[in-house]
Every structure is written in structure tokens, then in C-alpha cells.
Structure 1
Amino acid sequence: MASSIARRALIPEDSPSFCIKIVTDNDLRDGKELPEMAVNIYRNCMEDSIFLKVPNYETLWPIEVKKSAHGGRMWLHKGWQEFANFYSLEQGYLVFVML
């Protein structure tokens, strides 16, 4: 699992960031939809992947972003399930996203 973790030095200090809240089991299993406000603000900054930061750690997890065909919605996709399992995420947890 360590090979999927990126080093913090690769992300600029002023990178946009936001929090997402895991509300349902579907969020954990099927991928978490990113908040509409964050998508509207940061859509142009989001590439094919984003990074999830774990508190008290100097590492970031790259997660593939899935975009809807109509452009208005985005989800955490490839790598999300592994991240959620590794950290035993449950309903009600917050995840801090760095672009």
C-alpha cells in the first residue's frame, strides 16, 4: 500500500483544499461525490486525480477523480476504496482534500 502514497513535498503549500463528510455506506463503497461548491470553485484546478491528506502524517494519497459526462459532478474514484479501507473510515468521518 505504501507505493500508492505520494510525498507532501510534491504539493505546493498554497494548493486549494476542502473537506468532505462521509454520510452513507455508499460513500465508502461506491466513491464519495465531491461537494458541489468545491466542484464549482475548483473545477479548473482538478486534474484526473487529487490528494487526500491524513492528519498528523506527511504523506498524501492520490485518488482518481471521476467526472460526469455532463460536467457538473465529480467523485473520488480509483484509490478511494483502498484509502477508506486502510483508514477504516466510517459514516460521519471528515476527509480533507488537497488539489
Structure 2
Amino acid sequence: MTLPVKQLSDPVVRAFVTALNAHDEPGLLEVLTPDVTMSDDGSDRDVRPWLDREVFASRGHMDVVSEGGDGRALVADYRNDTWGSMRTKWAFTVEDGKISRFETGQA
């Protein structure tokens, strides 16, 4: 069973997931700090090329299964046209109303 995105506790994380699922590139970039960092399976990645490859070009989508950490830690079934579907974990650092870091990887 998935958690409706509109019920996610943290408004910034909710905006990130909403924009990601809508493939709304400007909306997604709006919730990120200009110097946002990220990691995928424990390896730091360049955010913009990663988003282009893993989200926008491959039609990424998150179905949130659970949340914790005041809404800043998610477990989600993530799918895209490149990798198919997999269970993933996401952790977000929010500063001044924007995401300054996110970490994802297989759960």
C-alpha cells in the first residue's frame, strides 16, 4: 500500500515528490538549493546529470510506502524506464525551506 503524496508530512519533501512524479523539472529545481548535493547507493553524484538521467529522461516515479524522520526519510517503490522498479530509501536535509542534500539507494 502506498502513502498519498498529499499526506507527506514535510511540505518541502512533498513538493519534491510531487514535482518528480509530474516530471516538472522547474518545480523540482525550485525546491533544491543552488548548491544541493546528493548520493546514490552511497556514492556522491552530480545532481543535475543524475536528475536528467534517473528522473526526467527515464520518466522516474516514486510510490511512497512509508515515511519517518519528521517526514524527511522515505521508503518508496521507485521506477523508471531504465531500471524498472525497485524499493528505495530516501533521506532529505532541508535548510531554509529547500532541500540542500538528498540521499537515495536501494532499501
**Greater helix percent: which structure?**
2
Give me the TM-score of the superposition, normalised by structure 2: 0.30
Give me the TM-score of the superposition, normalised by structure 1: 0.32
**Greater strand percent: which structure?**
2
